[in-house]
Amino acid sequence: MSPGSLRGRAGEGQQGRQGDRVESRSFRDVVGHFPTGVVVVTSADQASGAMHGVTVNAFSSLSLDPVLALVCVSRDSQSHDFLTTRPAFVVNILARRQIALAERFAGRAPLVSAEFAGVPFVPGIDGAPVLGGCVAWIECRRVATYPGGDHTILIGEVVDARLGDDDDPLVFFTGDYTSLTWG
């Protein structure tokens, strides 16, 4: 496809625009066509024993030297203030069979008495929960937070990264969960 044909297609109808800006719903629809993994970001307060987690799909490696990762946490999340102020967090990369866990930490599953009740986990190096059954997990120490519109960008230096036993990741695409098809 030539750049000209792409521009022509992109400009047709001008749907989803407000003046010089793209409407948030249109933007969400477009970026929804970019498949992402699904992670639960967890953290703990060692003094009080409190733990929180939230499902996100805005996660990325950031740097290899130093080794850094970033996650974007919605400012509307009940766990936002807790997660963005703790010194450490874990990025738990979910397996395909963990849809219920993704829904639970997204706040869409039936409520339970405690956020982590019945969820298998072990404390990580800095005490943040490492969830059982994940494809992988990345333990981080917070080095910076930045405002990012309706989200906070949380950057962590990676202190440990490991693979789990399951190698079939949960994927989010066009507003729904799916998985990779190998072969």
Structural domains of the chain, ranges and CATH numbers in brackets: 36-173 (2.30.110.10)
| Mean pLDDT per 10-residue section of the chain, whose length is 183 residues | 49 59 87 91 90 93 98 92 94 96 84 74 96 97 97 98 93 90 66
Contacts made by residues 45-49, CB under 8 angstroms, sequence distance 24+: 45/82, 45/86, 46/127
> How far is the C-alpha of 119 from the C-alpha of 98, rounded, in Å?
11
Q: What is the pLDDT of residue 22?
A: 83
Q: Side-chain half-sphere of 105: how many Cα atoms within 13 Å? A: 31
> How far is the C-alpha of 16 from the C-alpha of 59, rounded, in Å?
26
φ, ψ at 109 (rounded to 5°): -95, 165
Residue 177 burial (C-beta neighbours within 10 Å; 0-12, 13-18, 19+): middle
> How far is the C-alpha of 154 from the C-alpha of 70, rounded, in Å?
6
Reduced to 3 states (helix: H, G, I; strand: E, B; else coil), residue 107 is: coil
- pLDDT tens across 42-66, in order? 999 988 888 999 999 999 999 999 9
> How far is the C-alpha of 36 from the C-alpha of 177, rounded, in Å?
10
> How far is the C-alpha of 53 from the C-alpha of 77, rounded, in Å?
10
Helix (H) or strand (E) holding 109: none
How is residue 162 written in tokens? 């490991």
